[in-house]
Amino acid sequence: MGQYEKFLSFENFKLAFARIVRSPRNEYKEFYDKDIKAFEYRFEDNIKQLMNEIEEELYEPQMAERYYIPKSSGFVRPITLLNFLDCLVYQSLANIVADVVHEKVHDYFNVNTFGNIFKKTNDSSPEFFFESWKKQWKCFNDTFKKTYSNGYTYCVKFDMASFFDLIDHETLSQIMLNNGIDKHIVTILKKCLGKWAKTTIMFNENYNKTHGLPQGPLCSSFFAELYLLPLDVLMRRQKDVKYFRYVDDINLMVQSVERGNKLKLFLELAIRDLGLIPQNTKVNVQKIENIDKYMRQKFNNFSVITRHFKSNGRLNEGEHNRLKNKIKRCIKAKEIDKTLINFSLYKLNKDDEIKKMLLDNKELFTSYFQPVISYLNRCFPSDDKVIDFIIKYISSEEELFQYNKAVLVGKYETLPFDENILKQCDHDRSWILRYRMFQWLYRNEKKEILNGYHVNDKDNYFIQQILLWVKIKSMQDSVAKKQLLRKYIFNCKNNNDAHMLFIQGYSLWNEEFPYEPFNLHLCNGGNRYIRRYVTREDTDYFRTKMKELYDIDIPEDFIEKVKERTGYYEELKRAFKDFIMLKKIDTSSSVQNLDIVNHILLSVLGKDFSSMDSLKTLMPVAINVFKEVHDIRSGATLAHPYRNRSTEIRNIITYEKLSSVLNDDKLRNAYTNFIENYRQTETS
């Protein structure tokens, strides 16, 4: 079985789903909790329809949503939320690519590369895509110390700036092709990455971008590893150096300052060749005098504390005070240790002094609101000073980062209802703050307020998802619940957001009304997932697009007549697909493909362009349009150098001209006229 066939297998998509479900629990994954639950309700149908969408080239990735986490530099880190169907496709692609490249890189796991050690699909525990990061840290530390003991006592530490954002799609595609990845898989991935890279935060236009991996999805880390494969190969060939890479952190261990300086420049040039940029900080060759002290300073070994915390559920007094004093020193120096804060605040005991430090120094913790609010929520629920701090922070127009406001509203679980908070959340444009607001209103049982919000198609998917859920769970009136759910279930649009909203609505209906099955046969719209649920049949590109574009139902017996001739139906689908896809980018080819479509339709009736006038009485609209298309093909495309019946060089038809003379209404009328009357040709 080839790579593309393995990609489009049920087992691969099933594994992709399992890997998403088993990915580490964090804020990012919480956004998908409801999607995962809803998708599982008709799991097999949903997987098969998604595979069918890809196979029939109906699948289109959805533009992603973003939120922005503040960094200590004062800038932000973009976090990208994909539609759940896109997440599945992304992970399914990663599964196959990982299997192919694994043989080329696994010998260097825990020798040169230590982070994001990925597994093959036939691993003994394949549902986990990566090895445990704790295991990898230990391997990294042990190997680092061993190298030092062998005389490599100088170190060059190299970081890359905005690594994920700068990964170039063309370069990544070439790396994949060079390493034996099927071009169809590369094409799908490239299309997805291009769509997900688009943003409309500051501009009203969508600018096409060819760089950047979405930060958030598990498998982006894998593709980032793959992007650095040429660098790993290059650096392993260099003499008198030990090369270590943990994700995008690179360490070169050498035996002299001179060798370190040469390799530092060499590494920078190599990184820039990949379109990446080193961090704008001075990189020195550092002499390591004491390896144990260096490792403690560098990697903050908290393993003993972690073991005690897991055993007892809290820290002993000595451990607690040591961590607290470290935080005190950070605050006094006005330099926050990221690793210390992210570790300590999830384990420190209840302590009024720590609470005061956190509330009084909010400007130092701007980039760490998640661990801060986690500590306050765990140790000081319903605390008046904490609540007062949150209300003032959210109500302040001076606070720059809406993400932090969203964390306060969403993660301090005992935050009571307050009109000032509601007013600020309503006033703010930030979608993630509104998302957390709906959760907060639900926790405070503000059913009347929630019912005053109406789902807007212009809202992003995640806002629609959470608002649907909290409203359904808040409503007491079963009739009102059913009315709202029907709106989602009857959704006739065909994009991934609409598909997931249908899946959400249908799952919620069966959860709320388990003894009242919803009759999907009432859904006459074109949502392809509904059709799958009803018929259990694959979607056909030609019939689907005829319905979506022209509202024409192509009869099954007509399709069977086309299929009587070997290869005809495959050519019909290909030509119709290219007609649609090439309209704007290659009008000449688009018209030629439409002409092929019409030719095949006529051939079913035993006619061609030279004999189609005999059908003019029966289907005049269709024949006139078919003739017009054929004339344009003959006189205004690359099919011929001259205009019809002349020696004058033709002018290629433009998209604007094509849209004018062959608009959707004209084609709808033509194909309707054809389908309504084709059976009469059998008796005439």
pLDDT bucket at 152, cuts 50 / 70 / 90: very high
Of 301, 269, 248, 255, the closest CA to residue 155 belongs to: 255
Cα–Cα distance for residue pair 593/586, rounded to 1 Å: 11
Q: Give the pLDDT score at 29.
A: 95
Comparison of pLDDT for 595 and 398, the residue scoring more: 595
Q: Give the pLDDT score at 302.
A: 60
Measured in degrees and rounded to the nearest 5, phi and psi for residue 282 equal -70, 130
Neighbours of 365 (CB within 10 A): 20
SS3 call for 94: helix
Separation of first and last alpha carbons in the chain: 49
pTM, two decimal places = 0.92
For 589-623, how does the pLDDT look when each residue is reduced to its tens digit (9 = 90+)?
Answer: 999 999 999 999 999 888 888 898 898 899 999 99
For 22-57, how does the pLDDT look when each residue is reduced to its tens digit (9 = 90+)?
Answer: 998 899 999 999 999 999 999 999 999 999 999 999
Q: Of all residues in the chain, what percent carry a pLDDT higher than 70?
A: 95
Residue 407 host element (H or E)? helix 402-411
Cα–Cα distance for residue pair 665/208, rounded to 1 Å: 30
- In terms of C-beta distances under 8 Å and separation of at least 24 residues, what long-range contacts does 113-117 make, across chains too? 113/225, 113/232, 113/245, 113/246, 114/139, 114/140, 114/143, 114/244, 114/245, 114/246, 115/140, 115/221, 115/225, 115/245, 115/246, 115/247, 115/249, 116/221, 116/222, 116/224, 116/225, 116/247
Overall average pLDDT of the 181-189 stretch: 98
Cα–Cα distance for residue pair 284/293, rounded to 1 Å: 19
What burial class does residue 161 get, using C-beta atoms within 10 Å of its C-beta: 0-12 exposed, 13-18 middle, 19+ buried? middle
Task: Supply angle C-alpha 460, 466, 468, rounded to 5.
Answer: 95
Tokens of 641: 């150098």
Cα–Cα distance for residue pair 500/469, rounded to 1 Å: 13
Widest CA span in the chain = 98
Q: Give the pLDDT score at 353.
A: 95
pLDDT bucket at 98, cuts 50 / 70 / 90: very high
Q: Give the pLDDT score at 208.
A: 82
Query: What average pLDDT does the chain have?
Result: 90
Radius of gyration of the chain (CA): 30
E-strand spans in 502-633? Answer: none
pLDDT bucket at 485, cuts 50 / 70 / 90: very high
For 554-584, how does the pLDDT look when each residue is reduced to its tens digit (9 = 90+)?
Answer: 999 999 999 999 999 999 999 999 999 998 8
365, amino acid identity: F
- In sequence order, the 6+-apart residues with CB closer than 8 A to the CB of 183 are 177
pLDDT bucket at 204, cuts 50 / 70 / 90: low
Q: Give the pLDDT score at 524.
A: 63
Overall average pLDDT of the 497-521 stretch: 94
Domains of the chain: 3-296 (no CATH), 310-517 (1.25.10), 541-682 (no CATH)
pLDDT bucket at 681, cuts 50 / 70 / 90: confident
Neighbours of 289 (CB within 10 A): 8
Comparison of pLDDT for 227 and 112, the residue scoring more: 227
pLDDT at 682 over 70: no
Residue 253 host element (H or E)? strand 249-254
Q: Give the pLDDT score at 298.
A: 62
Q: Do 89 and 192 touch, CB atoms closer than 8 A?
A: yes
pLDDT bucket at 525, cuts 50 / 70 / 90: low
pLDDT at 650 over 90: no
The number of angstroms, rounded, from the C-alpha of 530 to the middle of its chain's C-alpha atoms is: 23
pLDDT bucket at 409, cuts 50 / 70 / 90: very high
Overall average pLDDT of the 228-242 stretch: 95
- b/e per residue, 492-508, with b = 16+ CB within 10 A? eebbbbbbbbbbbbbbb
- b/e per residue, 457-477, with b = 16+ CB within 10 A? eebbbbbbbbbbbbbbebbee
Overall average pLDDT of the 532-538 stretch: 90
Measured in degrees and rounded to the nearest 5, phi and psi for residue 603 equal -65, -30
Task: Supply angle C-alpha 421, 423, 426, rounded to 5.
Answer: 105
pLDDT bucket at 648, cuts 50 / 70 / 90: confident
Cα–Cα distance for residue pair 482/52, rounded to 1 Å: 30
| Residue with token string 């049920």 | 10
Cα–Cα distance for residue pair 372/438, rounded to 1 Å: 22
For 281-325, how does the pLDDT look when each residue is reduced to its tens digit (9 = 90+)?
Answer: 777 889 999 888 887 766 555 665 666 666 667 888 888 999 999
The angle, 0 to 180 degrees and rounded to 10, between the axes of the packed helices 496-512 and 528-535 is 50
Range of 265-279, 313-327, 444-458 with top mean pLDDT: 265-279
Q: Of all residues in the chain, what percent carry a pLDDT higher than 90?
A: 67
Measured in degrees and rounded to the nearest 5, phi and psi for residue 63 equal -60, 140
pLDDT at 428 over 70: yes
For 101-127, how does the pLDDT look when each residue is reduced to its tens digit (9 = 90+)?
Answer: 999 998 888 888 888 889 999 998 999
pLDDT bucket at 523, cuts 50 / 70 / 90: confident
- b/e per residue, 567-589, with b = 16+ CB within 10 A? eebebbbbbbbbbeebbeebbbb
Q: Give the pLDDT score at 308.
A: 60
pLDDT at 636 over 80: no
**Residue positions counted in the chain:** 684
Task: Supply angle C-alpha 614, 620, 624, rounded to 5.
Answer: 90
Q: Give the pLDDT score at 403.
A: 96
Cα–Cα distance for residue pair 637/53, rounded to 1 Å: 31
| Residue with token string 């043989």 | 103
